[in-house]
Amino acid sequence: MAANSTPLEQNLEDFRSFELPTEEENDNYRKLALRQLYYEQRRTFRKVPCFFAWQLDKEILAGWEDAYATVLSDLKCFPVGYDGTYGETVSYENSWNLARNYGGNRRHEGVDLMTSNNKPGYFPAVSICDGTIEKMGWLELGGYRIGIRSTHGAYLYYAHLDSYRKGLAIGDMVKAGDILGYLGNTGYGKEGTKGKFDVHLHFGIYVDIEGKEVSVNPYYILKWLEQ
């Protein structure tokens, strides 16, 4: 696939220097962990008592705090390159763990970042951290996807790309802010399938918790990165 350059590439230095706040890090990890656990409990049991946070098992909470600490320690920029110079915007909602039907009943292990102009190949997908390209290629559900393993072990998943940046290969090292490819609408069929949904980036985050790689909710992390 040939990657098409866009005017937005000229503005990527802004994203390279966009770092997470560092004050009260432990409190922030706890808040993110509580939100994730609350969301899971609410989805599972529908009704959650207002004193839910006080009932959490300390070991479970600590495990999720550690997971978020692992992720956040590596993050440096937002996963889509744009600054609004040309009137473009990116929007997203907390769609993590919602039901999905294509390919069988399953849960949405990520957040969809939607583009304002719905143009394939326009918005660059940007590495949010330093890391190594671990996976590339076609998946029926994810279309053209790329997976980055961060320095501290988190796995960052970018799906539905229109194209990859020319020259990228599995095993390559990338820096936060590097272009990985361009947003598209690929997937939900055999290789090359396009146009079954609007242009967007499906962005997922996976971390190791007690020896198992599990999905964590990217929504609050993305909101944090936008601050």
Domain count, the chain: 1
pLDDT in the model for residue 16: 41
Q: Is residue 112 part of a domain?
A: yes
pLDDT in the model for residue 218: 87
Q: Is residue 127 part of a domain?
A: yes
Q: Is residue 84 part of a domain?
A: yes
Pairing status of strand 99-100 against strand 173-174:
unpaired
Burial of 62 (0-12, 13-18, 19+ CB in 10 A): middle
If you compute the radius of gyration of the chain from its CA atoms, what whole number of angstroms results? 17
pTM (global) more than 0.85: no
Q: Is residue 60 part of a domain?
A: no
pLDDT in 10s for each residue of the chain, 227 residues = 444 544 344 334 433 433 444 445 455 666 777 676 666 655 554 444 444 444 556 677 777 777 777 777 888 889 999 877 777 899 999 888 788 877 777 788 899 999 999 999 999 999 999 999 999 999 999 999 999 999 999 999 999 999 999 999 999 999 999 999 999 999 999 999 999 999 999 999 998 877 788 888 888 788 877 76
Q: Is residue 200 part of a domain?
A: yes
pLDDT in the model for residue 42: 56
Range of the domain at 181: 7-17+73-226
